[in-house]
Amino acid sequence: MTYSEDRSSRFVGEGFRVEPEFRQASGSPEGLPEDPGESEFVPSSMLELPAPTQTASQRSVTLAELDGAFDDPDHGEPGRDRLRIHLIWEIVLLLAGVGMAFAVIHTHGGSLKGANLRSLMVTASIFGLLALGAGISIRAGAVNLAVGPILVLSGLYFGDHANGGFYSAAGIAIVIAVVCGLAIALVVTVFHVPAWAASLGAYFGVLVWCTHLPTTVALTTLYNPARQGYYWFGGFALIAVIGAILGAVRPIRRALARFRPISDPADRRGVPAAVVAALAIVGSSLLAGVAGIALTMQQNSMTASDGLNFTGIAIGIVLLGGTSAFGRRGGILGTVLATGLFALAIHYVTLREWRGGQITVIAVALGIGVLVTRVVETASRPRHGAPVDDPEVSLSWLGRQQGSWAGHQRIRTADDPTWVDANDERWGAR
């Protein structure tokens, strides 16, 4: 009999319970490998834990929730664009327009009455149509700098052929403008080059076309648009406001500005973005052609020019009205108010007979406009850390961003024996 057997038999039945043996055959405690070579420290993170149950906060996020939380579900920021800055700026434009109207009345009291007022409203409508064309292309992220020479080209062709057939000449002039827009749109969308470069090339190409047309043309038609000046301006304002309201609707704004670059400008934004940008460029050329026909009818003539002033007028009004030069962002009444202010300013410098008055107004409008773009981009974007409807949405968005810090850093724990790495430069420690 061994000592252990004697000890066990001696205590059994004497009021002591038999204790189980907690050692393995090798003598090592339970839970550790019997082989000494395998007895390394096992971190707690490697221990098997019961799988957590699926909770409501861990559910997958639907596309509808992303659409409600983000302006652009694929590449956007959490939250919606703020329109307050546009409303504030439009109030400033309204006050500036009223002040300019008083200045015009003080200079020449009768210039804003009767036929003079109606003629000024037609001029403002022509400027507004040209600005609407440029504004559509800018909102789409594909600015069309060729709107000025397209206006001149359409006006020259219409004036040269209107005496033989008013409607046919107008129709062909509009078709010419659309063809110019299609050429620009194909280069921009198919070759994916910056719209300003493609439209600038078209700018000079249209000038070459104008050299094959008469230098000056005159109309013999009796129609004078100044008789319906109120209707002209009212129609322009209605189109501008309806377009601005539609552009403020999130899905429409998102679709319209899809061509706007969000990372590398060389990355293509997809077929839908290309189609929308092409339509915007063609639409801007169409409106420029209509503006050229209206200008020819108002003056009863058209003179060949490089169209640079008209391009400056269009871009200046758009930027002055609060539309961002980067695309997408814009107000509601900004284009209408900026057009009225611009037309009054041109009329004022004409009454005062300032040398280079029109160029001065264009320069001031562009200078203020680029500053307004910076303010709009800064104050119109969603607030950083803006609350969203579902916290899981914001977490999912953070992980989906390209280059996101949270998507590339491996989670380290205190139980990980490799959490200290002397060669790890991501934390700036060396």
* pLDDT over 50 at 131, yes or no: yes
* pLDDT over 60 at 129, yes or no: yes
Q: What is the pLDDT of residue 422?
A: 46
Q: What is the mean pLDDT of residues 245-251?
A: 84
Q: What is the pLDDT of residue 31?
A: 53
Residue in this structure with the two tokens 């063609």, named with its chain if needed: 282
Among 15-24, 108-117, 245-254, whose mean pLDDT is lowest?
Answer: 15-24
Residue predicted with more confidence, 110 or 309: 309
Angstrom distance (rounded) from CA 188 to CA 194: 6
Query: Which residues on adjacent β-strands are paired with residue 216?
Result: 303
* pLDDT over 60 at 395, yes or no: no
Question: What is the DSSP secondary-structure string of 23-86?
Answer: B-TTSPBTTS-SSGGG-----GGGS--PPPPP-GGGSPPPHHHHHHHBSSTTT--BB----HHH
The tokens describing 21, both together, are 């043996």
Spatial CB neighbours of 269, under 8 Å, sequence gap ≥ 6: 258, 259, 260, 261, 262
- In the chain, % of residues over pLDDT 70: 69
Structurally, at CATH architecture level, domain 108-379 sits in Orthogonal Bundle (1.10)
What is the per-residue pLDDT across 70-116, written as a single tens digit (0 to 9) for each?
A: 455 555 555 567 788 989 999 999 999 999 999 999 988 788 888 89
Residue predicted with more confidence, 80 or 375: 375
Mean pLDDT of all residues in the chain?
A: 78
Residue predicted with more confidence, 53 or 92: 92
Q: What is the pLDDT of residue 405?
A: 40
Stretch (H or E) spanning 7: helix 3-11
Q: What is the pLDDT of residue 74?
A: 53
Q: What is the mean pLDDT of residues 360-370?
A: 95
Q: What is the pLDDT of residue 163?
A: 84
Q: 3-state DSSP helix/strand/coil percent for the chain, to nearest 5?
A: 60, 5, 35
User: Residue 219 — very low, low, confident or very high, per pLDDT cuts 50/70/90?
Assistant: confident
Residue 352, classed as helix, strand or coil, is: coil
Q: 0.95 exceeded by the pTM? A: no
Question: What is the DSSP secondary-structure string of 307-325?
Answer: -HHHHHHHHHHHHHTT--T
What is the per-residue pLDDT across 185-202, written as a single tens digit (0 to 9) for each?
A: 999 999 988 999 999 999
Q: What is the mean pLDDT of residues 123-132?
A: 96
Q: What is the pLDDT of residue 16?
A: 52
Judging by beta carbons within 10 Å of its beta carbon (0-12, 13-18, 19+), is residue 180 exposed, middle or buried?
buried
φ/ψ bin of 12: left (φ > 0), alpha (ψ from -120 to 50), beta (otherwise)? beta
Residue in this structure with the two tokens 């559910």, named with its chain if needed: 59
Q: Do 261 and 141 meet the contact criterion of CB atoms below 8 Å apart?
A: yes
**Type of residue numbered 180:** C
* pLDDT over 90 at 410, yes or no: no
* pLDDT over 60 at 418, yes or no: no
Q: What are phi and psi of 79, to 5 degrees?
A: 105, 175
Q: What is the pLDDT of residue 27?
A: 55
Among 149-163, 213-227, 276-290, 314-328, whose mean pLDDT is lowest?
Answer: 213-227
Domain locations along the chain: 108-379
Spatial CB neighbours of 421, under 8 Å, sequence gap ≥ 6: none
- In the chain, % of residues over pLDDT 90: 46
What is the per-residue pLDDT across 153-171, written as a single tens digit (0 to 9) for each?
A: 999 999 999 888 889 999 9
* pLDDT over 70 at 376, yes or no: yes
